[in-house]
Amino acid sequence: MTKITLDRETFKALASDTRLDILKNLDGRPMGLNDIAKLTNLNKATLHEHLTKLNEAGLIKRTEREGHKWVYYRLTWKGESLLHPENTRIVVLFTATFVALAVCILNVVSYIKGTLVQPTISQAEDTLKNYISSDGGLQGTQATAPAAYSGAPMFFQDPLFLYGAVVCFAVFFVVCCVAVWRYKVNKTVKV
């Protein structure tokens, strides 16, 4: 989990109940100075001082658009992490799901791709025994005899890749369900 560094400026900014209320009001949406003033019942000059301290601490970000007089404030990653430390866990869960999915896809591709192997003499003899009839001749034509009969390489698909893909897909599905569930639980408004 990522760590949040709390320096002296951050502690000073968090020492005020008013600033904590401002952070809570900014949670989830950017707001202008007038909107924050209405919610906190503060004078705009006092509010501007509090917002400056929060901005210096790196807990909020001030956004100005060129040509417009309105200034909007929103939480930074550091501010959101202080209010919602569980969001970092959700990010880690979603990252794990995509890693599991990538490994699953690689295993499926490796299984489909297969490998060409040069059979040993004993493998070729074992394969030929299946095609030799009781009178000593080949069953069917030589075209139906396996490639090992001519000494050509054989195509081999390792079933471990397929088993690995199934396991990775199961891990992907379970972790994805847990991550979505945690995300929905955290998105619900708590009273």
Q: DSSP for 102-165? A: HHHHHHHHHHHH-EEE---HHHHHHHHHTTB-TTSSBSS-GGGS-GGGGT--EEE--HHHHHHH
By residue count, the chain amounts to: 191
> CA-to-CA distance for 174 and 104, rounded, in angstroms?
14
How far is 59 from 24, CA to CA, in rounded Å?
A: 11
Least confident of 111-115, 162-166, 173-177: 111-115
Report whether pLDDT(87) > 80.
Answer: no
CATH class of the structural domain 8-83: mainly alpha
If you ran DSSP here, which 8-state letter would residue 62 be given? E
The answer to whether the beta carbons of residues 42 and 22 sit under 8 Å apart is no
Strand-pairing partners, residue 190, are none
Note the pLDDT of residue 8: 75
How far apart are alpha carbons 171 and 167 in whole angstroms?
A: 6
In angstroms, rounded to a whole number, what is the distance separating the alpha carbons of residues 125 and 123?
A: 5
Read off the pLDDT of each residue in 35-63 and give the average, rounded to a whole number.
Answer: 88
- pTM, entire model: 0.49
Cα separation, 57 vs 12, whole angstroms: 8
Query: 65 falls in which pLDDT band (50, 70, 90)?
Result: confident
